[in-house]
């Protein structure tokens, strides 16, 4: 009985490993949209917490950049917000992928050059 139990456990373990391996392989092969890297540059005079589509990308000091790896370009809109040290939203803008400046293959950039909300901050894009 002990031998049958060990064989069954071994077979189940092998099936589980095979399923996980095939699933991971399929996930690497199939992606709905290409993935790119997005740098967000802070050209303001204060440290900002940068938020992309509701998720924190990171804190960025004046003159520095924060990087968001593996951004799915298949999304229709990208909402970028920046909060100051007090947690207040000092920048908010909605982008489409074509608004990002291409830096290199698979690398794009957005510049926060002035603080503001909405369309009046449209000059925050350095190029199309």
| Domain of 80, in residue numbers | 35-124
Q: How many domains does the chain have?
A: 2
Question: Hey, what are 128's tokens?
Answer: 């199309």
Q: Is the pTM of this model over 0.85?
A: no
Is residue 44's pLDDT more than 80? Answer: yes
- Please report which confidence band the pLDDT of residue 107 belongs to, taking 50, 70 and 90 as the band edges: very high
Q: Which residue has the higher pLDDT, 52 or 16?
A: 52
How far apart, in whole angstroms, are the C-alpha atoms of residue 91 and residue 83?
7
Give the CATH number for residue 74.
2.60.40
Burial of 97 (0-12, 13-18, 19+ CB in 10 A): middle
103 pLDDT higher than 80: yes
62 and 47 share one domain = yes
Query: Cβ contacts of residue 72 below 8 Å, gap of 6+?
Result: 32, 33, 35
* Share above pLDDT 90 across residues of the chain, in percent, rounded to a whole number: 53
88 versus 11: the higher-pLDDT residue is 88
Stated as kind and residue range, the H or E segment containing 97 is none
Residue 20, pLDDT > 70, answer yes
Mean pLDDT of 96-113: 92
pLDDT for 122: 41
Say yes or no: 62 and 113 in one domain. Answer: yes
Domain match, 13 and 66 both: no
CA neighbor of 114 nearest in space, from 38, 39, 40, 42: 42
């Amino acid at each position: 009985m002990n031998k049958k139990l060990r064989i069954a456990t071994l077979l189940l373990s092998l099936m589980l490993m095979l399923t996980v391996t095939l699933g991971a392989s399929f996930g690497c092969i199939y992606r709905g949209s290409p993935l790119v890297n997005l740098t967000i540059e802070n050209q303001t005079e204060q440290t900002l917490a940068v938020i992309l589509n509701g998720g924190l990308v990171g804190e960025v000091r004046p003159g520095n950049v924060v990087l968001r790896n593996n951004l799915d370009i298949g999304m229709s809109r990208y909402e970028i917000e920046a909060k100051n040290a007090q947690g207040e939203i000092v920048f908010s803008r909605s982008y489409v992928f074509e608004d990002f400046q291409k830096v290199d293959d698979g690398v794009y950039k957005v510049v926060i050059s002035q603080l503001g909300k909405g369309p009046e901050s449209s000059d925050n894009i350095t190029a199309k």
